[in-house]
Amino acid sequence: MPFSLIVRLVIDLGMTALLLFATAYRITGDVTHEWIGIAVFILFVVHNAVNWRWYRGLFRGKYDFRRMMNTAVNLLLLATMTALMISGMLLSRTVFAFMGFSGGMQIRQAHTLAAYWGLILIAVHVGMHWEMIMGVIARMTKSARPVWTILMRTVTALIVIYGVYASFDRAMGAKLFLGYSFDFWNPERPAVLFFTSNLAIMGVYVCVTHYALKLLAYRRAMKQRERRS
């Protein structure tokens, strides 16, 4: 297994995990939230540096549907993460307090919007590469293919069911479409439930993206068979 591929996976998983923790500022507190945000920014820069060849190839080759979708998601994610970092600096009360920015309600709304769209776009991005990721994990764990497939499909079904419920419970529609800027979390509820819910919500988008692309590939293959027959 190429070492560069392992490095990319570690960076991507680390950035995703930190972004999940960054959304929990009501639990972690502002200071921890800001330092986690800086860590996300650093990993995001490293991620783009490691994948610099992708930018060089943007205007080369042909674009099929999958490549167009991948490019659109990557560019939207770039814009979202950039907006997240800039709005975070403007709202900072600790790390960048020396810059004298005061932020404001509109900046806070933009920051919350970028954070949750960032989670969704990362989930879609992961979903587009899910088969590769599962292949790497299967090789690393040396799992038997049938056993691994059954296990993962069972876990996936449970994640999607809970993720749909969590989407309503966490009011994701309001978060994604500027319903409100504050992400309230009842302190009486276990903190682990916050992370489980957000992770399950991401799982829904990973699953939908992965199986939608598989369906498109299947339909394309069926059309090609029809033309040959």
Which domain, by its residues, includes 19?
A: 3-228
Q: Lowest-confidence range among 29-43, 84-98, 138-152?
A: 138-152
Q: How far apart are CA 53 and CA 50, in angstroms?
A: 8
Provide the token pair at 66.
Answer: 């999958």
Q: What is the DSSP letter of 24?
A: T
Q: How far apart are CA 52 and CA 92, in angstroms?
A: 30
Q: What is the DSSP letter of 1?
A: -
Residue 149 DSSP SS3: helix
Q: Using the Cα atoms of residue 53, residue 59, residue 61 and residue 62 in order, give the sign of their dihedral.
A: positive
Q: How far apart are CA 120 and CA 63, in angstroms?
A: 24
Provide CB contacts within 8 A for 143, sequence distance 6+: 137, 151
Q: List pLDDT tens digits, range 145-160.
A: 666 677 778 888 999 9
Q: Do 159 and 200 meet the contact criterion of CB atoms below 8 Å apart? A: yes
Instruction: Count up the domains in the chain and report the number.
Output: 1
Residue range 193-213: mean pLDDT, rounded = 93
Q: How far apart are CA 83 and CA 106, in angstroms?
A: 13
Provide the token pair at 217.
Answer: 């590939």
Residue 1 above 60 pLDDT?
Answer: no
Residue range 90-104: mean pLDDT, rounded = 84
pTM here is 0.85
